[in-house]
């Protein structure tokens, strides 16, 4: 990992360009999740906990197979179960592995004010660096997928790393290794897109899923995690998977034009009062004729 | 009444020349609590605002520390601002004298104070600053709570997260503008103003020039007591 600083393309809260940006060009890595072959076994949840050193936490039962309502700071990988009634009245049990999507245009990184707390590697992985995290929670507002989670004890944010430590060593992420059905794939973005498109073709031609498609949302520049969905026109049915995710415009404005407008306004204020002082100077207290005994402390002369 | 007019100065003034008490000790203490807590929030807030000002947080003990204390100092600032509201709300209402003064404000800016109508304890600009900071503090508190506990805002109500960011940034920028003018006027522009908020007293001449109606009121009150 001594070369790691040369493999960074984006740094959060950094004054100036990212050092090493563009020095190294790497293949974009990508995780493909085929929801049509997922059986909801949660082997990926366990593998994620094991590899990242977390213990299994209490589950929250809500009349579903789902482990808990959403991912947690120490639970980065969660299968979302959703019952979905189709137009013909038949029921589908949709299972979607939820985790960080590793956006090409990451909202968390844009929102983050801490230098180096969020980095994007040349291979596309978006990673939190807890030693630089200040625990402000801005990334929570920046993320269109509700992924970064706060550890109230350490006051640091956590999320899926796409097993950056494994990928660096040429291994697939832990969740991929554990998947028994082969619904999880890992490789370059191009290969995964080919694989996904083939599967979509198959679903359309052989399984009567006319709306099958690949979920690789362009609003965030594409993602490092892509899905094959039975019905790509309705991703919301898979448990809060947004149809057209984007970095919230408030966050874009805040981190873009608002910054420069605000800085200009503040500079303007300082220059303005300085100009006033140079042009008009301080207000002196006039000594009036009837104030004969006015003492010398009456306003600085 | 004619007898009392013969008494030249107020009891307060008689102790130390013609000095008049402008701010009580508790008013002064509270002003500086508000001032320093605002300054802390300003510096740490600017650090979180721009990467080019992140060094400010480093100077104050590191960004995680700054992030930890920022909301607590914000609570202190809001509390002292609300205390000011409790104590000064009567003095801060706009009067007819203020409206006449407001029209003549360009004269004030150009230091042509002899062309200004007489006003009470606070001028229109001071009142404007007070209300900007009061409403600013309330908005900063409400939006700040949203930012403090951002994860407690459910995903379905996430527009509240974006609203909190918008309101916090806007209110902060507006109060910063007011703060710059306030600090400039209090330290450099209005001679005697800084001494007033530190030691509490102003000269009779100062009071007559800047707040003639207030001067007449306090001198009348103190002489009536005699």
Q: What is the pLDDT of residues B112-170, one digit of tens each?
A: 998 999 999 999 999 999 999 999 999 999 999 999 999 999 999 999 999 999 999 99
DSSP code for A158? E
Q: Cβ-count burial of B188 within 10 angstroms (0-12 exposed, 13-18 middle, 19+ buried)?
A: middle
- Set of chain B residues whose Cβ sits within 8 Å of the Cβ of A285: 191-192, 203, 205-206, 209-210
Asked whether the predicted pLDDT for residue B188 surpasses 80, the reply is yes
| Residue A59 exposure: Cα atoms within 13 Å on the Cβ side | 12
* Residues in chain A closer than 8 A to B63 (CB atoms): 113-114, 134
Query: Does residue A301 have a pLDDT over 70?
Result: no
Measuring CA to CA, which residue among A180, A199, A192 is closest to residue A225? A192
Q: Which of A15, A134, A262 sits opposite B51 (nearest CB)?
A: A15
Q: If DSSP states are collapsed to H, E and C, what string results for chain B?
A: CHHHHCCCCCHHHHHCCCEEECCCHHHHHHHHHHHHHHHHHHHHHHHHHCHHHCHHHHHCCCHHHHHHHHHHHHHHHHHHHHHHHHHHCCCCCCCHHHHHHHHCHHHHHCCCHHHCCCCCCCCHHHHHHHHHHHHHHHHHHHHHHHHHCHHHCCHHHCHHHHHHHHHHHHHHHHHHHHHHHHHHHHHHHECCHHHHHHHCEEEHHHHHHHCHHHHHHHHHHHHHHC
Using CA atoms, how far residue A17 sits from A8, A106, A116, B85, in Å, is: 11, 16, 12, 46
Q: How many Å lie between the alpha carbon of B105 and the closest alpha carbon of chain A?
A: 14
Beta pairing partners, A31: A186, A225
Q: Check residue B223 and give its pLDDT.
A: 76
Mean local confidence (pLDDT), B79-89: 96
Q: Given pLDDT bands bounded at 50, 70 and 90, which one contains residue B226? A: low
**What top-level class would CATH report for the domain A4-247?**
alpha beta
pLDDT of A229 higher than 70 = yes
Q: Report how far residue B70's alpha carbon sits from residue A291's, in angstroms, rounded to the nearest whole number.
A: 48
The answer to whether A296 and B19 have CB atoms below 8 angstroms apart is no
Contacts of B209 in chain A (CB under 8 A): 285-286, 299
Q: Which of A149, A269, A295 sits opposite B177 (nearest CB)?
A: A269
Query: Could you give phi then psi for residue A238, rounded to 5 degrees?
Result: -90, 25
β-strand pairing of A91-98 with A118-121:
unpaired
Q: Which of B17, B165, B181 sits opposite A254 (nearest CB)?
A: B165
Question: What does the buried/exposed string (b/e) look like for B52-91 if buried means 16 or more CB atoms within 10 Å of the residue's CB?
Answer: ebbebbeebeebbebbebbbebbebbbbbbeebbeebeee
Confidence bin at B62 (pLDDT 50/70/90): very high
Q: Is residue B27 part of a domain?
A: yes
- Local structure of A234: helix, strand or coil: coil
Asked if residue B161 is part of any domain, the answer here is: no
Q: Which residues of B touch A259 (CB under 8 A)?
A: 49-50
With a cut of 60, say whether residue A186 has pLDDT above it.
yes
In this prediction, residue A298 carries a pLDDT of 44
Chains A & B: contacts with CB separation below 8 Å:
152
B5 and B220 Cβ atoms separated by less than 8 Å: no
* Residue range A259-280: mean pLDDT, rounded: 96
pLDDT grade, residue A181 (50/70/90)? very high
Residue A133 has pLDDT above 50, yes or no: yes
Average pLDDT of span A242-249: 96
B60 located within any domain? yes
Top mean pLDDT of A16-20, A84-88, A297-301, B40-44 is at B40-44
| Mean pLDDT, all residues of chain A | 91
Looking at per-residue pLDDT, the higher value among A191 and A26 belongs to A191
CA distance B180 to chain A (A): 7
Q: Which of B105, B180, B181, B200 to mutate to test the interface with A (most CBs of A within 10 A)?
A: B180
Residues of chain A found within 8 Å of residue B192, distances taken between Cβ atoms: 285, 298-300
What average pLDDT is seen over chain B? 91
Domain enclosing residue B71, as ranges: 19-88
Angle between helices B159-184 and B25-49 (to 10 degrees): 120
Q: What is the DSSP letter of A7?
A: G
Does residue B109 lie in a domain region? no
State residue A21's pLDDT score.
Answer: 83
In angstroms, what separates the C-alpha of A66 from chain B's closest C-alpha? Answer: 17
Q: In chain A, where are the structural domains located? A: 4-247, 250-282
**CA-based radius of gyration for chain B:** 21
Predicted confidence at residue A297, as pLDDT, reads 43
Task: Report the pLDDT averaged over residues A77-104.
Answer: 94
- Cα separation, B28 vs B187, in Å, equals 15
Can you give the pLDDT at residue B14? Answer: 43
pLDDT at residue A24 in the model = 82
Quick one: closest CA in A to B110, which residue? A280
DSSP H helices, chain A, are 43-52, 107-111, 138-142, 164-168, 174-178, 189-206, 249-255, 257-279
Q: Higher pLDDT residue, A3 or A293? A: A3
User: B113, A293: Cβ pair inside 8 Å?
Assistant: no
Average pLDDT, integer, range A255-280: 96
Reading the block at residue B191, the tokens are 């001679």
Contact A250 B49 (CB under 8 A): no
**Contact (CB<8Å) A282/B169:** no
Q: Give ipTM to 2 decimals.
A: 0.88
Contact A250 B173 (CB under 8 A): no
Angle of the B124-148 helix axis to the B96-103 helix axis, nearest 10:
100
pLDDT value, residue A286 = 66
Q: Among A137-141, A220-224, A281-285, B107-111, which stretch is predicted with the lowest mean pLDDT?
A: A281-285
Least confident of A62-66, A247-251, B26-30, B173-177: A62-66
CA distance B201 to B193: 9
Does pLDDT of B69 surpass 80?
A: yes
């Amino acid at each position: 990992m001594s070369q790691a600083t040369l493999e960074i393309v984006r740094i959060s809260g950094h004054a100036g360009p990212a050092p090493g940006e563009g020095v190294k060009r790497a293949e974009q890595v990508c995780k493909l999740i085929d929801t049509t072959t997922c059986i909801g076994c949660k082997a990926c949840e366990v593998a994620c906990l094991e590899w990242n050193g977390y213990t299994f936490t209490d589950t929250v039962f809500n009349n579903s197979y789902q482990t808990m309502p959403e991912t947690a700071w120490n639970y980065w990988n969660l299968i979302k179960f959703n019952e979905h009634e189709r137009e013909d009245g038949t029921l589908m049990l949709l299972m979607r592995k939820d985790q960080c999507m590793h956006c090409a245009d990451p909202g968390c990184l844009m929102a983050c004010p801490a230098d180096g707390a969020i980095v994007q590697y040349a291979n596309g992985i978006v990673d939190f660096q807890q030693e630089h995290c200040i625990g402000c929670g801005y990334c929570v507002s920046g993320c269109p997928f509700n992924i970064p989670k706060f550890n109230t004890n350490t006051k640091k944010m956590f999320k899926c790393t796409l097993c950056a430590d494994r990928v660096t060593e040429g291994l697939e992420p832990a969740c991929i290794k554990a998947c028994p059905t082969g619904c999880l794939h890992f490789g370059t973005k191009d290969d995964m897109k080919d694989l996904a498109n083939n599967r979509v073709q198959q679903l359309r031609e052989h399984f009567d899923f006319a709306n099958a498609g690949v979920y690789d949302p362009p609003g965030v520049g594409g993602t490092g995690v892509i899905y094959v969905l039975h019905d790509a026109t309705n991703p919301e049915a898979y448990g809060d998977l947004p149809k057209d995710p984007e970095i919230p415009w408030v966050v874009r404005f805040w981190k873009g034009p608002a910054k420069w407008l605000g800085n200009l306004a503040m500079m303007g204020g300082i220059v303005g009062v300085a100009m006033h002082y140079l042009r008009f100077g301080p207000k002196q207290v006039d000594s009036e004729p009837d104030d004969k005994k006015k003492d010398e402390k009456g306003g600085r002369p | 009444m004619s007898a009392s007019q013969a008494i030249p100065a107020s009891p307060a003034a008689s102790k130390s020349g013609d000095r008049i008490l402008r701010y009580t000790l508790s008013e002064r203490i509270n002003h500086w609590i508000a001032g320093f807590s605002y300054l802390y929030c300003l510096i740490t807030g600017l650090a979180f605002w721009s990467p080019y000002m992140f060094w400010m947080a480093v100077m104050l003990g590191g960004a995680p520390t700054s992030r930890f204390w920022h909301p607590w100092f914000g609570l202190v600032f809001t509390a002292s601002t609300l205390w000011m509201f409790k104590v000064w709300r009567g003095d801060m209402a706009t009067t007819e004298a203020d409206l006449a003064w407001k029209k003549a404000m360009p004269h004030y800016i150009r230091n042509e104070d002899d062309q200004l109508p007489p006003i009470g304890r606070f001028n229109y600009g001071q009142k404007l600053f007070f209300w900007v900071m009061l409403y600013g503090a309330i908005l900063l508190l409400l939006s700040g709570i949203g930012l403090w506990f951002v994860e407690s805002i459910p995903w379905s109500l996430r527009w509240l997260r974006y609203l909190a960011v918008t309101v916090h940034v806007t209110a902060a920028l507006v109060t910063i503008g007011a703060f710059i003018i306030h600090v400039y006027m209090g330290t450099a522009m209005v001679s005697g103003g800084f001494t007033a908020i530190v030691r509490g007293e102003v000269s009779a001449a100062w009071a007559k020039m800047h707040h003639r109606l207030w001067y007449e009121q306090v001198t009348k009150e103190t002489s009536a007591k005699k």
